[in-house]
């Protein structure tokens, strides 16, 4: 049984503490050299969607435009469900089928990860920040791949069939027990079969989001006419922002339902998830192999170094608990649910120690013929806004927020800048037409 100690995991920022935030003043009191080329954007939410939108607004706005972005999040960067995510990224469904626009979403996601790591030539981080980002204790991305054992005969057949029809976007290999145990010596394959995705990755969500915000700051500081600021304060109503911004982009995840203008008007399903943080005790010699992949099964194991991992996740459709804090009772319930599932394929979990748990409320989109696709578009009509192209939504990224966030942020930024919702694929805006 996993040993339990009451220690909450601390995730440190890898970049210097942000300076005091500038005070906000109404738009009309701010001097502007070229009012017709000045664009002020409010982004509500500092999770995957919000920071992706912010980056793409900076990147895609016309060079001659003055772009000012204010991000609002009462908790801060990655304070909601985004910061609790396991961080496993691949473009396939549980049946190993390519998800909706999986290839495009995968490629855009990898680009944004590269930007956060400082690999993008347009936004190279300074050497100190780069070194911190690549410190094993502060690492953002682990490129180990993901192993998915087959747990039922039907599941094994599906995995093999889809591996044969793999598009090559993210390679899928069918492997047997011997090959799997070379990757993870202690792995157990109930049916002597698994698929391995060698190019799949997993990330540390909060470090990634902190790095992406740093990249936005660097980009803005090195680009004439670009500004970006973060405000740790809540927005309780869209009326608070009336008249101040060119456009407001709402990226609040499950908390979107707290806005009176949108409460109960979006086809979102809320589901709380809890993850457990595990570590190997210092007196345990064996470590998780430096090249051993993460494990995707009935309960996943996201490996974060040689002695740390995250196990998840639970699904509580009845909860309305937004807090990332998990009570001792909720943590025990999560362990009782997740441990038996994960131990079936990785029995060595008995050597690991439970060091804390965190939770978040996912905003799940409705099921469609294309699967669960995010909700995007201009919501002026829902908000009852008289002007056009004022309020925009990025919502319902659900449990695949990491895969979708880069593409959704890019599409939304392009629509906001062009004031043209038609640049967003109809599949993502059709939810408004059927309301």
- In this predicted structure, what is the pLDDT of residue 190? 87
Asked if the model's pLDDT at residue 285 lies above 90, the reply is no
Residue range 329-346, pLDDT digits in tens: 999 999 999 999 999 999
Asked if the model's pLDDT at residue 55 lies above 60, the reply is yes
Q: Provide the pLDDT confidence category of residue 373 given band limits of 50, 70 and 90.
A: very high
Q: Provide the pLDDT confidence category of residue 356 given band limits of 50, 70 and 90.
A: very high
Percentage of the chain lying above the pLDDT 70 cut: 84
Q: Provide the pLDDT confidence category of residue 23 given band limits of 50, 70 and 90.
A: very low
Asked if the model's pLDDT at residue 30 lies above 80, the reply is no
Asked if the model's pLDDT at residue 95 lies above 90, the reply is no
Asked if the model's pLDDT at residue 111 lies above 90, the reply is yes
Long-range contacts at 96-99 (CB < 8 A, ≥ 24 apart): 96/148, 96/158, 96/159, 96/162, 96/163, 96/166, 96/172, 96/195, 97/162, 98/167, 98/169, 99/371, 99/400, 99/403
Asked whether 402 and 89 are in contact (CB, 8 A), the reply is yes
Q: Provide the pLDDT confidence category of residue 18 given band limits of 50, 70 and 90.
A: very low
| Lookup: tokens for 8 | 């909450």
Residue range 201-223, pLDDT digits in tens: 999 999 999 999 999 999 999 98
- In this predicted structure, what is the pLDDT of residue 435? 53
Q: What is the pTM of this model?
A: 0.87
Mean pLDDT within 163-180: 82
From 276, 275, 213, select the one nearest 399 (Cα to Cα): 275
Q: CA-to-CA distance for 139 and 145, rounded, in angstroms?
A: 16
């Amino acid at each position: 049984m996993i040993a339990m100690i009451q220690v909450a995991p601390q995730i440190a920022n890898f970049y210097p503490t942000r300076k005091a935030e500038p005070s906000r003043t109404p738009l009309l009191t701010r001097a502007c050299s070229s009012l017709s080329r000045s664009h002020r954007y409010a982004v509500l939410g500092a999770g995957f969607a919000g920071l992706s939108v912010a980056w793409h607004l900076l990147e895609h706005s016309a060079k001659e435009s003055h772009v000012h972005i204010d991000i609002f999040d009462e908790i801060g960067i990655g304070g909601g469900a985004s910061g609790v995510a396991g961080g496993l990224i691949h473009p396939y469904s549980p049946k190993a089928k390519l998800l909706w626009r999986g290839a495009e979403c995968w490629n855009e996601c990898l680009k944004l990860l590269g930007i956060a790591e400082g690999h993008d030539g347009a936004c190279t981080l300074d050497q100190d920040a780069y070194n911190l980002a690549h410190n094993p204790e502060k690492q953002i991305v682990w490129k180990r791949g993901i192993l998915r054992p087959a747990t039922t005969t039907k599941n094994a057949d599906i995995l093999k069939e889809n591996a044969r029809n793999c598009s090559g976007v993210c390679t899928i290999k069918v492997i047997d027990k011997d090959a799997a145990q070379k990757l993870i010596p202690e792995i157990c394959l109930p049916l002597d079969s698994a698929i391995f995705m060698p190019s799949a990755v997993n990330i540390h969500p909060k470090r990634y989001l902190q790095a992406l915000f740093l990249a936005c700051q660097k980009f803005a500081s090195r680009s004439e006419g670009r500004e970006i600021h973060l405000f740790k304060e809540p927005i309780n109503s869209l009326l608070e922002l009336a008249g101040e911004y060119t456009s407001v982009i709402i990226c609040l995840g499950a908390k979107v339902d707290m806005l009176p203008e949108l409460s109960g008007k979006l086809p979102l399903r809320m589901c709380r998830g809890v993850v457990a943080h595990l570590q190997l005790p210092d007196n345990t010699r064996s470590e998780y192999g430096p090249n051993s992949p993460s494990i995707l099964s009935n309960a996943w194991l996201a490996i974060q170094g040689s002695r740390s991992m995250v196990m998840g996740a639970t699904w509580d459709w009845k909860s309305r608990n937004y807090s990332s804090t998990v009570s001792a009772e909720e943590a025990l319930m999560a362990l009782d649910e997740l441990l038996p599932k994960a131990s079936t394929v990785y029995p060595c979990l008995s050597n690991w120690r439970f060091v804390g748990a965190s939770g978040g409320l996912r905003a799940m989109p409705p099921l469609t013929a294309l699967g669960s696709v995010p909700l995007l578009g201009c919501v002026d009509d829902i908000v009852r806004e008289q002007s056009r192209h004022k309020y925009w939504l990025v919502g319902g990224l659900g449990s695949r927020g990491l895969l979708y966030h880069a593409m959704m942020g890019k599409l939304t930024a392009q629509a906001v800048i062009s004031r043209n919702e038609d640049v967003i694929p109809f599949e993502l805006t059709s939810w408004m037409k059927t309301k």
